[in-house]
Amino acid sequence: MICPGSVCYVSLLFTWLWGWLFPHQLFLRSCENVGHEVAALHRRIEEIVEVAAICGVNIVCFQEAWTMPFAFCTREKLPWTEFAESAEDGPTTKFCQELARKYNMVVVSPILERDEIHGGTLWNAAVVISNSGAVLGKSRKNHIPRIGDFNESTYYMEGNTGHPVFQTQFGTIAVNICYGRHHPLNWLMFSMNGAEIIFNPSATIGKLSESLWPIEARNAAIANHCFTCPINRVGTEYYKNAFTSGDGGKAHHDLGHFYGSSYVAAPDGSRTPGLSRTRDGLLVVEMDLNLCRQVSDKWNFKMTGRYEMYAEKLTEAVQPYFVPNIIKE
């Protein structure tokens, strides 16, 4: 069935090199500079979102931790924790609320969240703001990497919001932050909750994951009858103090090259070209959300999936007494 009024929706994603905005100030000298740098990013993003609005965009999603360098590799607390903000009423959320109201646009804003209600705990979170300017809610990062220089658990742990899905005027959306794209069941749970579009704001480097990047989100779109939108930052960020990877190698000043290459994959397996791997960009995509239902009716993955069987075995597998079902001679 073609649903009137829901034939086409437009979504936008973009990436940029954080250091391009502050080529001489990436090494923050004190926490006092944080507010100025975030404000400068706000001004830059406002210009880009204005262009997106001219293109008719309904939903915009930024990259992971978009208001700051991805400095978790350093294991330094200051000044990086000073970038953390309230998800409900912090300056970045208020800024995004203004954008949403001004341009009639849903805004997905991934930030480093400070949860003052629970002792100032930090979270990697994405705030979802309605085109009316209301904060619909937030989705915290479910899977935290412990690989190479991705020392994120020094700052925050696994999220506790589960797999929320947000009903907006332009579609039902979810946010699967970064490392969650490596976990097929994470995509599945967002889909089970009814997501038509799953955004994947990320910060990942070429040496680690570039060979996987074109595959994982595209496969998730096919497997879950939905649109997926992997978004990566772009460029190389350098830090004043050298840090090690714990692998016996030499200390270094950068995490690696963030290769951008953001794209959108559709339920039928098609995908857009990716953005540049070396410079910032804006990707505007028209989505026919009816394709989710049409592909689902064709392939019936939800109907043919043996979820009760999987659930039973998974329930057993997380218990200490679990024994794999291996038949031997």
CA atoms 26, 150, 35, 241: torsion sign: negative
**Token pair in block for residue 214:** 């074109």
**CB count in 10 Å sphere of residue 84:** 26
Beta bridge mates, 200: 230
Q: If DSSP states are collapsed to H, E and C, what string results for the chain?
A: CCCCCCCCEEEEEEECCHHHHCCCCCCCCCHHHHHHHHHHHHHHHHHHHHHHHHCCCCEEECCCCCCCCCHHHHCCCCCHHHHCECCCCCHHHHHHHHHHHHHCCEEEEEEEEEEHHHCCEEEEEEEEECCCCCEEEEEECCCCCCECCECHHHCCCCCCCCCCCEEECCEEEEECCHHHHHCHHHHHHHHHCCCCEEEEEECCEHHHHCCCHHHHHHHHHHHHCCEEEEEECEEEEEEEEEECCCCCCCCEEEEEEEECCCCCECCCCCECCCCCCCCCEEEEEEECCHHHHHHHHHHCHHHHCCHHHHHHHHHHHCCCCCCCCCCCC
Give the integer Cα–Cα distance in Å for 83 and 36: 11
- Cite the active site residues: 64, 141, 178
Q: Which residues contact 146 (CB under 8 A, 6 or more apart)?
A: 153
Of 270, 139, 273, 113, nearest to 198 by C-alpha is 139
